[in-house]
Amino acid sequence: MYKSPSHLPEAARKSISDTLNARLSEGLDLHSQIKVAHWNCKGPQFAALHPLFETFAIALADFNDSIAERAVTLGGRAYGTVRHAAQNSKLPEYPQDTTRDLEHVKLLAERIEKYLDGSKAAREAVEGQNDSDTSDLLSTIITDFEKHAWFLRASLET
């Protein structure tokens, strides 16, 4: 661990950094899956979904950066290569032959909800370490991506 301005003990900072790197792996994986949907979407909802997916990807890229920087601020490292993310993400693989607009909506909703499960578990873990700053970061991510999941699920309602 590197020197950190954090008041947290080194063991807590190490644990939180590991937790953040798990979130980073899934965030990078989810980002690539959103981009696959963005690039390959076809169908009557294309005009609405193409920019919506891009909005999700941009927001997630910003959050991934914040997660990585928080891990490093705590004295850890950020592990963010594609290979590392692929080996460590718990998200299911994205079926890259998917083209239909509402199938992309369904697949992304499922993956965002899985990402949220991990983010909520991470928030509980950092709260147990008394790290309110990291908890606040995770709460912001959760709030935004719960809204994104709701947008997607609402699009599937008949």
Q: What CATH number does the domain containing 25 carry?
A: 1.20.1260.10
Task: Determine, yes or no, domain membership for 4.
Answer: no
- Against a cut of 0.75, is the pTM above it? yes
pLDDT per residue, tens digit, the chain (158 aa), is 888 999 999 999 999 999 999 999 999 999 999 999 999 999 999 999 999 999 999 999 999 999 999 999 999 999 999 999 999 999 999 998 999 999 999 999 999 999 999 999 999 999 999 999 999 999 999 999 999 999 999 999 87
Range of the domain at 110: 10-156
Q: Does residue 40 form part of some domain?
A: yes
- Give the CA-trace dihedral at 23, 109, 38, 57, to 10 degrees: -30
- What is the pLDDT, as a whole number, of residue 1? 87
Total domains present in the chain: 1
- Please report whether residue 78 resides in a domain: yes
Residue 106 located in a structural domain? yes
| HSE-up (13 A, CA, CB side) for residue 5 | 3
Residue 3 lies in a domain: no
